[in-house]
Structure 1
Amino acid sequence: MQKIILLAIGVSIGFTTAQAQAPSAPTQKANTRFEQLGPMLPTPNTFRTASGAPGKDYFQNRADYDIKAELDDTKQRITASENITYQNNSSDALRYLWLQLDQNLFKPDADGNTTETNSINAERGASPGQLDPSAALRNKEYGYTITSVRDAAGKALKYTINQTMMRIDLPTPLAPGKSVSFAIDWNFNIVDAKSVGARSGYEFFPKDGNYVYEIAQWFPRLCAYDDANGWQNKQFLGQGEFTLIFGNYKVAITVPNDHVVGASGELQNPSQVLTAAQLTRWNSAKAKGDKPGENPVQIVTPAEAEAAEKAKPTGKKTWIYKANNVRDFAFATSRKFIWDALQPNVGGKRVWAMSLYPKEANPLWGQYSTRLVAHTLRSYSRRTFDYPYPVAYSVHGPIGGMEYPMISFNGARPLADGTYSQGTKNFLISVVIHEVGHNFFPMIVNSDERQWSWMDEGLNSFLEGLACLEWDPDFPARGIEPQYIVPYMQLDSTQQVPIMSSSDNILPNTFGPNAYSKPATALNILRETVMGRELFDYAFKEYSRRWMFKSPTPADFFRTMEDASGVDLDWFWKGWFYGVQPVDQSLVKVDWFQPASQNPEVTKAEARAAAQRRANTISKQRDAATKDQSVVAQDSTMKDFYNSYDPYAVTDEDKKKYQDYLATLTPDERKLAEAGTNFYTLSLKNKGGIPMPVIVRMQFEDGTDSVARFPAEIWRFNDVQIRKVITTSKKVTQWTLDPYREIADINTDDNSFPALAEPSRFQLFKQQRGGGATAPNPMQQQRQSQSTPPRPAVQGSGRN
């Protein structure tokens, strides 16, 4: 660092911060990064206001369903019928209705399959699945078979199927404020979820010959019609999820009489489908869930599930569920299910937290799943709104993680011997929290997933990270920590698309960071670094409250966060959500300034020290041994006045002149002159593109340190390079930008001044022996070393 002594105290006082940070004219850059989003956002109107709140004319249509469905456990097939009542709350007359036929994605000629790209690697070859991604769909005929579409009087309605969409033409337009009822009959073959990579389907267990079914996207359901899009009838290609509307559901599900069924909503007939013992356990669980360490109650025990696996069904049972004000309905069914439950108090009311899982999921699931459900409901409710539904399920089966109102499908299975890795346990914790958390986004704050994946995945991943840390402060919450998004942001811009991209247009290999971790990290940076926790938490809760049971757009989120916090964030949305540039700040150099002191005690002492440094040459050091042999040393008559004169001694005249000088200064100038203040000018560059707050750590020569923080607006006059003056009373020995890795800087090598030398590591040459086989997980290793016998085929609840 270069030290410069200012020639006069008046010069140092006039050297202001504003002058220090303003670069010379040639480097000035007129930029738009801090201008308002303006025309990039939809114009506010009476449906959606400039504040981000719903307007006075906001509307949403609704659809109520009465569904009867039967599972064929022999053919893996669903046969069903539904009566739908559709309410038109818009001001438009609707001549036709659009419904989603998501199962049609599994037709081999669906656009979602034919538009998949693949290639052959000449050196590595290609698997059959890579050559023909839809090959697994050719063993049966998949997709809907629609057998009837008729009005309330039973008269056939004209309909047209366009791949995953169906248009029903109405005999007369549906007027504003009116409703129409109609019925549909259909059936379809259920896909093998793992072989197809589907969001729902079945898993077959060869050892006992049974199935676990997780059934979703299974009934023709209404598309959304709103002020932003009209009909949202964009085809389902597989990546962009679902855009749905609210309604009430009554669903009767007929299955073999040894099956256990969980679904969106409340079970209406427990006394008809549960044994007397199971019903007693059901009732006992209602008072459980508020005390730490409280174990879930097993409504269906492992022994009962194992017995059902071995026996044959003797008939059928119909499980009836009701779900009010939900946007979708899903269910799971199997004779393999163990069922445990608690009913914790969430926001002043009891809510069912329940899990369904086969024995293959233990011991992990019995120990963790239901408690994770309860924890998630509590954590998310604190940050948004009290969970309004009566139940939340976590179901284990073939799906790695997928969400629906009040029910989610989750992965993470231990090995056959009952052991599991730390990664498997962490995945279970994160996936249950994430998928149960989706009850809030988008099941209640009902965003358009077909268009904007980040509005539910990103917001939910952010809350998931906070909930994971509330579960275990040592949990590796990498989905929200800025340093972990760096590898993605280091990618070439051609390998990224902005967060504000349509869901189906996000590159598949970067969908995870783009829709999940980048927006989640951005929100965490807003909370921790840009806005602060208090302002962020208030604004985020206000957004959640405003839009619960409504359908927000991105503009509604952006506007509400600013409206409720009083923080201008347009520059942030531009950089993080509309662009693909990274964050890369560089501390180029630091110049050190001190006022030129007039105090003779200081100036003459400094002059003496400088003279001594100049005189301390190698020759002087070596001649010191013979200095007594000099002529002057041996003959005192050769000495005169100047041999004893000290030019650096402070005289009375020096002191008088200094006091006269001080008398000319104002009190502030005198204080600065006597303080010995250090002025440091930091030269900074924004090499990445996204302007971000400047956070700099100062390490002082006395071993202490301090952190200075400057908001992102420091770049508003020039977003390429700036200079900033920092004053300290102590001397700084080391400067470091972004010391706590808060802003996702993609290159920290240039964040220190003076530069910190990092060694290049090398390994001493040694012939390596042994193979590359993956080591067993630590739990398995310990069990093997202790010769622990394998676990029984069926486990209990996994109590602590």
Structure 2
Amino acid sequence: MKTTKILTLFFSLFIAMEFSVIDAFAQFYPEKIFAPDFYTYKGDEYRSASGKPGPKYWQNQADYRIQASFDTLNYNLEGIVEIRYQNNSPDKLDQLWLQLDQNNTLASTRGNRIQAPIAAVDARKGYLISSVKIERNGEWVDASYLIEDTRMQIRLAAHPLKSGEQLKLSIKYAYTLQKQGGGGRSGYLDTKNGKIFEFSYWYPRLCVYDDYYGWNTLPFMGSGEMYLDYGNIDFSITAPAGALVVATGDLINKEEVLTEKTLARLAKAQESDATVMIRSASELKEGLTKNKRGTVTWHFNMKNTRDVAWALSSAFIWDAARINLPDGKTALAQSVYPIESTTDSIAWPRSTEMIKASVEHYSKKWFAFPYPVATSVAGPVGGMEFPGMAFNGYQAKPYIMYLLASHEIGHTWFPMIVGSNERRYPFMDEGFNTFLNILAQEEFNDGEFAPKRDGEYAPGGGHPADEIVKVIAESGEANTLMTPPDAMDRKYVHPLAYFKSAFGLVLLRDVILGPERFDYAFRQYIHNWAYKHPQPADFFRSIENGAGEDLSWFWRAWYYHNWQLDQAIKGVSYVNGEPKNGVIITVENKQQMAMPILARIKESNGTVHNFTVPVEIWQRGADATFNVSTQSKIISVELDPEHKIPDIDRSNNSWK
């Protein structure tokens, strides 16, 4: 027997055993799921009870100016970052905290010591900080600081930063780019025409100080991603002449850097709905920078952003097209990829088409894309997001290419526009974005790649509702949507943060609220929290207020717990024994999760009844009894005939 078959058999037996144990001991307690007082705090002047930012909501701002250079021979990046930090909080800050995520490559950091408490030291890994200064009275003075793990603390006790004031920091730093660095979110790749270098988490960044936790200093351990303040980032990259640099934001010195032929093609692409080739495979030996020798400095600027990233290579083929946005505005979709990504089985020549369609869909349905360019980069990183930019695997075939293009650029909305805390609540970005992808995938090219399937948990076109029960059963109560990603068993991060979170929104939209009410409330949430920092309760309150429903039962069961659902037909009888008097149906709830009852009744006269019993019926107990008007004998009764809800045992859903 092959290993995969053995594992499949073991998993099937495990799930069967798990369900049998659950079924043997499970019982429905209405008082648990419908308990009052779900919210632990009332609305205040910072965060309204309606789910909106309050009248005195505040957040701090971090503006960056970065000058960096990269040596492609020894993989060394050197930079100076100047940060202007504005304290908009009502508090006096006697310290600042910064993220040093490149230190994640050090064996001494806690994320690595969990796996290997004793490991060899490699001096070429992590940040080398050579200078940290604060501007005081117009002069730069040495700062008092401490580096611990992946964080830096700057101590301001003698000169605290008062409410409404700002300060400037200057940090001189360097690090060696690892082949798989930054928690696997940066690195380099060899191709026949040169290396591709991808840079993320590449400069010291301020931690968020907010009204919920104060300083958010969870260390970077690999699974948790970003939580950053917004600001304007101006950055310059000095690299060898002839290579192409693409980055988030606007290339503001393109006339100085690019050849006239390249500029002309870019201008054509900005007016074209069809993809325009800017640098073809046959032109890879031609330089696209005006300067043919030495180095070239690329100058980018991005406004109102959490972060910036970039990529560099002499091997990039480059194409682009216009993105059509609401209100007549436009942006540019562009893709860069090596010649290895152009074989018949690989879909990178369609990347720009996919990026363009995705951005247009999300902009029309939810919130307009705010940046000048959306970029997809083929390289060593299999899939990673930044504001308006994605690093995607260079060997992606058509279906995976669309999944990557749609998902990674979709992160521009979550968490780049709606700035949730990925270190604590990945369901608010990964899951919400995956939900956006489901609708976009249905629309793209008349459903060419629809329906969306989320990896191993929806294989072979099965019903997602039937697949999610496996996720819930296996992950258990120790791993819920509210569990921080670094506290989860890593194998559950994707099934929960992506799949379960997204399917929760599908349940809200398709079963509980309906598309019209859900879309309105969800769109309100996006607009109210654009460029701000929502917490989970802000999302819960937003949907409740926008849709006009108390959904605390759903938040409690789906987000705070991994409760299961099992609705079973318990009894079917005619009123006074006569079919013409109607039928009495009793459904039992055998698990702790509750959902509306979706039912279909077929009569012998050909009449079919499809109806929904509201979830409130379960407030009365584990048995739900209701009447249905009928005229003839009942042929069958079936619960959830379209498999919309995650029922763990469908053998008790039918009566004939």
Q: Counterpart of 1:261 in structure 2: which amino acid?
A: V
Is residue 67–residue 81 contact of structure 1 (8 Å, CA) maintained in 2?
Answer: yes
Q: What secondary structure is seen at the aligned counterpart in 1 of 2:652?
A: coil
Aligned-partner Cα distance in 2 for 1:585–1:221: 50
Q: Counterpart of 1:38 in structure 2: which amino acid?
A: F
Q: Counterpart of 1:710 in structure 2: which amino acid?
A: V
| Equivalences, count | 611
Q: What secondary structure is seen at the aligned counterpart in 1 of 2:129?
A: strand
Aligned-partner Cα distance in 1 for 2:254–2:635: 72
Aligned residue number for residue 435 of structure 1: 408
Q: CA deviation at 1:326?
A: 0.3
Q: Which residue among 539, 542, 547 is the counterpart of 1:560? A: 542
**Could you report, residue by residue, the CA deviation over 1:113-136 in whole angstroms, capped at 9, with x for unpaired residues?**
1113xxxxxxxxxxxxxxx6998x
Aligned residue number for residue 17 of structure 1: none
Q: What secondary structure is seen at the aligned counterpart in 2 of 1:243?
A: coil
Aligned residue number for residue 404 of structure 1: 386
Aligned residue number for residue 271 of structure 2: 287
Q: What secondary structure is seen at the aligned counterpart in 2 of 1:537?
A: helix
1:261 aligns with 2:251: no
Aligned-partner Cα distance in 2 for 1:492–1:282: 49
Is residue 482–residue 525 contact of structure 1 (8 Å, CA) maintained in 2?
Answer: no
Change (3 A) 1:368 1:558: same
Q: What secondary structure is seen at the aligned counterpart in 1 of 2:518?
A: helix
Is residue 347–residue 398 contact of structure 2 (8 Å, CA) maintained in 1?
Answer: no
**Could you report, residue by residue, the CA deviation over 1:562-587 in whole angstroms, capped at 9, with x for unpaired residues?**
11111111111111111111122111
Q: What secondary structure is seen at the aligned counterpart in 2 of 1:343?
A: strand
Q: Which residue among 321, 328, 333 is the counterpart of 1:342? A: 321
1:357 aligns with 2:337: yes
Aligned residue number for residue 107 of structure 2: 108
Q: Which residue among 619, 631, 638 is the counterpart of 1:716? A: 619
Change (3 A) 1:551 1:197: closer
Aligned residue number for residue 188 of structure 1: 175
Aligned-partner Cα distance in 2 for 1:29–1:326: 46
Q: CA deviation at 1:302?
A: 1.5
Aligned-partner Cα distance in 2 for 1:281–1:140: 44
Is residue 539–residue 565 contact of structure 1 (8 Å, CA) maintained in 2?
Answer: yes
The 5-angstrom pairing of residues 126-525 of structure 1 reads 141-152=124-135, 153-170=139-156, 171-193=158-180, 198-205=184-191, 207-208=192-193, 210-289=194-273, 294=274, 296-306=275-285, 314-347=293-326, 348-363=328-343, 364-411=346-393, 413=395, 424-471=397-444, 472-473=446-447, 475-479=450-454, 481-491=464-474, 493=476, 497-525=479-507
Q: Which residue among 508, 515, 539 is the counterpart of 2:521? A: 539
Aligned-partner Cα distance in 2 for 1:28–1:278: 66
Q: Which residue among 509, 519, 523 is the counterpart of 1:527? A: 509
1:726 aligns with 2:628: yes
**Could you report, residue by residue, the CA deviation over 1:403-449 in whole angstroms, capped at 9, with x for unpaired residues?**
111211112515xxxxxxxxx32111011101101001100100011
Q: What secondary structure is seen at the aligned counterpart in 2 of 1:38?
A: coil
Q: CA deviation at 1:74?
A: 0.3
Q: CA deviation at 1:688?
A: 2.5
Q: Counterpart of 2:534 in structure 1: which amino acid?
A: P
Is residue 29–residue 592 contact of structure 2 (8 Å, CA) maintained in 1?
Answer: no
The 5-angstrom pairing of residues 739-758 of structure 1 reads 739-754=641-656
Change (3 A) 1:83 1:532: same
Change (3 A) 1:158 1:334: same
Aligned residue number for residue 765 of structure 1: none
Change (3 A) 1:134 1:437: farther
Aligned residue number for residue 549 of structure 1: 531
Is residue 65–residue 82 contact of structure 1 (8 Å, CA) maintained in 2?
Answer: yes
Q: Counterpart of 2:647 in structure 1: which amino acid?
A: D
Aligned residue number for residue 572 of structure 2: 590
Q: Which of 1 and 2 has higher RCO (CA within 8 Å, sep 6+)?
A: 1
Is residue 144–residue 155 contact of structure 2 (8 Å, CA) maintained in 1?
Answer: yes
| Uncovered stretches (5+) of structure 2, i.e. residues with no partner | 1-26, 459-463
Q: What secondary structure is seen at the aligned counterpart in 1 of 2:527?
A: helix
Is residue 325–residue 364 contact of structure 2 (8 Å, CA) maintained in 1?
Answer: no
Q: CA deviation at 1:684?
A: 1.5
Q: Counterpart of 2:538 in structure 1: which amino acid?
A: D
Q: What secondary structure is seen at the aligned counterpart in 1 of 2:79?
A: strand
Aligned-partner Cα distance in 1 for 2:489–2:243: 40
**Could you report, residue by residue, the CA deviation over 1:622-658 in whole angstroms, capped at 9, with x for unpaired residues?**
xxxxxxxxxxxxxxxxxxxxxxxxxxxxxxxxxxxxx
Aligned-partner Cα distance in 2 for 1:487–1:81: 49
Q: CA deviation at 1:678?
A: 3.9
Q: CA deviation at 1:190?
A: 0.5
Aligned-partner Cα distance in 2 for 1:710–1:28: 18
Q: CA deviation at 1:702?
A: 3.4
Aligned-partner Cα distance in 2 for 1:552–1:708: 36
**Could you report, residue by residue, the CA deviation over 1:703-760 in whole angstroms, capped at 9, with x for unpaired residues?**
4422121111111111x22222222123220111110111111221111113xxxxxx
Aligned-partner Cα distance in 1 for 2:111–2:78: 24
Is residue 212–residue 333 contact of structure 1 (8 Å, CA) maintained in 2?
Answer: yes
Change (3 A) 1:37 1:521: farther
Q: CA deviation at 1:140?
A: 5.8
Aligned-partner Cα distance in 2 for 1:106–1:38: 41
Q: Counterpart of 1:349 in structure 2: which amino acid?
A: K
Aligned-partner Cα distance in 2 for 1:37–1:585: 26
More strand by share: 2
Same amino acid, percent of matched pairs: 37
Aligned-partner Cα distance in 2 for 1:540–1:575: 20
Aligned residue number for residue 767 of structure 1: none
Q: CA deviation at 1:231?
A: 0.5
Aligned-partner Cα distance in 2 for 1:231–1:372: 39
Is residue 412–residue 428 contact of structure 1 (8 Å, CA) maintained in 2?
Answer: no
Is residue 337–residue 394 contact of structure 2 (8 Å, CA) maintained in 1?
Answer: no
Q: What secondary structure is seen at the aligned counterpart in 1 of 2:638?
A: strand
Aligned-partner Cα distance in 2 for 1:430–1:28: 39
Moved over 6 A (4+): 132-135
Change (3 A) 1:733 1:535: same
Change (3 A) 1:87 1:509: same
Change (3 A) 1:518 1:28: closer
Aligned-partner Cα distance in 2 for 1:29–1:736: 24
The 5-angstrom pairing of residues 652-663 of structure 1 reads none
Aligned-partner Cα distance in 2 for 1:192–1:28: 52
Aligned-partner Cα distance in 2 for 1:747–1:412: 41
Is residue 374–residue 409 contact of structure 2 (8 Å, CA) maintained in 1?
Answer: yes
Change (3 A) 1:133 1:402: farther
TM-score, structure 1 normalization: 0.74
TM-score, structure 2 normalization: 0.89
Aligned residue number for residue 33 of structure 1: 33
Aligned-partner Cα distance in 1 for 2:259–2:480: 54
Q: CA deviation at 1:308?
A: 6.4
Moved more, 517-526 or 474-483: 474-483
Q: CA deviation at 1:367?
A: 3.3
Q: Which residue among 691, 707, 716 is the counterpart of 2:610? A: 707
> Over alpha carbons, which structure has the higher Rg?
1
Q: What secondary structure is seen at the aligned counterpart in 1 of 2:34?
A: coil
Is residue 329–residue 404 contact of structure 1 (8 Å, CA) maintained in 2?
Answer: yes
**Could you report, residue by residue, the CA deviation over 1:197-226 in whole angstroms, capped at 9, with x for unpaired residues?**
611111223x45x21111000100111001
Aligned residue number for residue 91 of structure 1: 90
Change (3 A) 1:492 1:393: closer
| Uncovered stretches (5+) of structure 1, i.e. residues with no partner | 1-26, 117-131, 415-423, 597-675, 755-800
Aligned-partner Cα distance in 1 for 2:183–2:536: 29
Is residue 106–residue 122 contact of structure 2 (8 Å, CA) maintained in 1?
Answer: no
Q: CA deviation at 1:401?
A: 0.8
Q: Counterpart of 1:742 in structure 2: which amino acid?
A: K
Is residue 478–residue 484 contact of structure 1 (8 Å, CA) maintained in 2?
Answer: no
